[in-house]
Amino acid sequence: MNSKDITIILPVHDVSDDFNNWFPKSLKSLEQSQAKPGKLLIVCAENNSIKEYMSSLENTTGIDTEIVYNDGDTTYCGQINLGVSKCKTEYISVLEYDDEYSNIWFKQFDLYVPHYKDVDIFLPLVVDTDQVGQFLGFTNEALWAMGFSEEIGFLDNNTLLKYQNFQVSGMIMRKDKFEEIGGLKASMKLTFNYEFLLRATYNDTTIMTIPKIGYKHVNQRDKSLFWNYKFKDDLKIGQDEAKFWVETAKKEYFFTKDRQVEFEG
């Protein structure tokens, strides 16, 4: 097993606004990667502007790349689930178009996987930045704090019930485990990450953070999904609703299937 057994899934919902500022950086991070993953799968929403953009895409990543179009559920979760279903490799990884892998991430995977053969999900140490690249903090790092989780470095269900701030973008996960636990649930809105990890740990998925910088995430970029939840008038989520989604995640993780849930505030 090595990084050649990984397919990166990169969902693209639309190419308007500042997509072109971020996407090339994202691809550049793959170009600079010290160990190359086996495949890059760009999962695009089926529309003309995206098709036009992709047709002129110059791929310098050095990675076998495939573009697939999705005419079904084009939410972030839907795109990822479709991407995973099309993967033929043992592992999958998720890259957001406005984020970047560190150049050492896949090399670290190659280094860690022989020693941690039972691990199903390797989380990266995520560097969170603001839009201008200013360091804000780390995510997924807390697992290495003494006494934080049941086993240092590993994520468990009890810890997740008390602490929610984990990031799945950049993770490297066994494809069969992703499918076994039911993939991402779009109906979980802002807690889809959290619910997914709760469900994973509930289903005996072994999760660890590789304590090396693996992924750079731009926090609440203008017009991103979470920015919309926080600021956009028609999508804005208040405190009560946020609390509702956290509580819902804690109830829904027992179910493999995505059951439609609505907030009635």
Which parts of this chain interact with other proteins (CB under 8 A)? 102, 104, 107-108, 111-112, 115-116, 125, 135, 137-138, 141-142, 144-146, 148, 152-153, 211-213
What is the smallest separation between the CB atom of 159 and other proteins, expressed in angstroms?
13
Q: Which is nearer to other proteins, 182 or 211 (CB)?
A: 211
Our CB check for other proteins shows the closer of 115 and 257 to be 115
DSSP H or E segment with residue 22: helix 19-31
| Cα–Cα distance measured from residue 106 to residue 203, given in angstroms and rounded to the nearest whole number | 26
The minimum distance between CB 147 and other proteins, in angstroms, equals: 9
* In the complex, least distance from residue 25 CB atom to other proteins, rounded to whole angstroms: 18
Say if CB 199 and CB 192 are below 8 A apart. no
Identity of the residue, 37 or 78, whose beta carbon is nearer to other proteins in the bound complex: 37
Residues 6+ apart with CB under 8 A from 4: 36, 37, 38, 89
Q: How far is the CB of 108 from other proteins (least distance, A)?
A: 7
Q: Which ranges of 65-216 would DSSP assign to H, the alpha helix?
A: 76-86, 105-112, 157-162, 175-181, 192-202
Residue 86's nearest CA partner among 122, 39, 50 is: 39
CB nearer other proteins, residue 69 or residue 112: 112
